[in-house]
Amino acid sequence: MRAEFNNLVETLKRWDLYQIGDEVDMALTDLSDKIAEVEKRMECVDRTANEIRLAISNYTEKVDEPEPFIMTVANHDSILRGANDILVAIDFEDDEPIENNWYGLFEVKEEPKKEEPPTSLCKTPQTNEFVKDIIAKLKVIDVDGETMQYILQQVGMEDQMLRQLVMSSPESDTKDLLEEKRELNKSVRGCIEI
């Protein structure tokens, strides 16, 4: 079931049929969570069946013998509880396996902390995801200053970015950079005059 689900997601991605944070993405996330629950419930059934099998195996040889045998209370209870547990595990209206974290399979999910959007444009979840994707891609290519400046020019944000950086930087940093620029200009002029 998981493989088919993953194939569906890859097909939807390939044909660009959904975006992160849209209704299709949320429905796929819900379906993925339900598949994970089913897989865990089936693991509970498998483990419980193995426990029943183990309890019954204590009496397998004795059943074929003509003499009566006595089943221990512990084994009887284990078999009976196991049979009931299988019924509970496959009943999706019953949350007992999840609430009691059967076999340590059902982790208690903590609500993810809502992070504050870094900018007003990022308040829309889809836009925030796009921005995160862009940042990740820039990190992958190990973007340098020259390329970043080119990107800012291409999106028409070079002057705006310069202003924002100057206005948000400490005055001492701005003065130091301006002094460095003046010194560089003097040295360039000096080289040209020679």
pLDDT score at 89: 93
pLDDT, residue 56, reads 86
d(CA 61, CA 59): 6
Contact 152, 158 (CB under 8 A): yes
Local confidence pLDDT in tens for the 194 residues of the chain: 889 999 898 888 888 888 888 888 899 999 999 999 999 999 999 999 999 988 888 888 787 788 887 888 888 888 899 999 999 999 999 999 999 999 888 886 676 677 888 999 888 888 888 898 899 899 888 899 999 999 999 999 999 999 998 899 898 888 888 888 888 888 877 666 55
HEC profile of the chain: CHHHHHHHHHHHHHCCCCCCCCHHHHHHHHHHHHHHHHHHHHHHHHHHHHHHHHHHHCCHHHHCCCCCCCCCHHHHHHHHHHHHHHHHHCCCCCCHHHHCCHHHCCCCCCCCCCCCCCCCHHHCHHHHHHHHHHHHHHHHCCCCHHHHHHHHHHCCCHHHHHHHHHHHCCHHHHHHHHHHHHHHHHHHHHHHHC
Q: What is the pLDDT of residue 126?
A: 87
Q: Cβ neighbours of residue 25 under 8 Å, at least 6 residues apart? A: 18, 19
Q: State both tokens at 10.
A: 């890859």
CB atoms within 10 A of CB 128: 18
Neighbours of 156 (CB within 10 A): 8
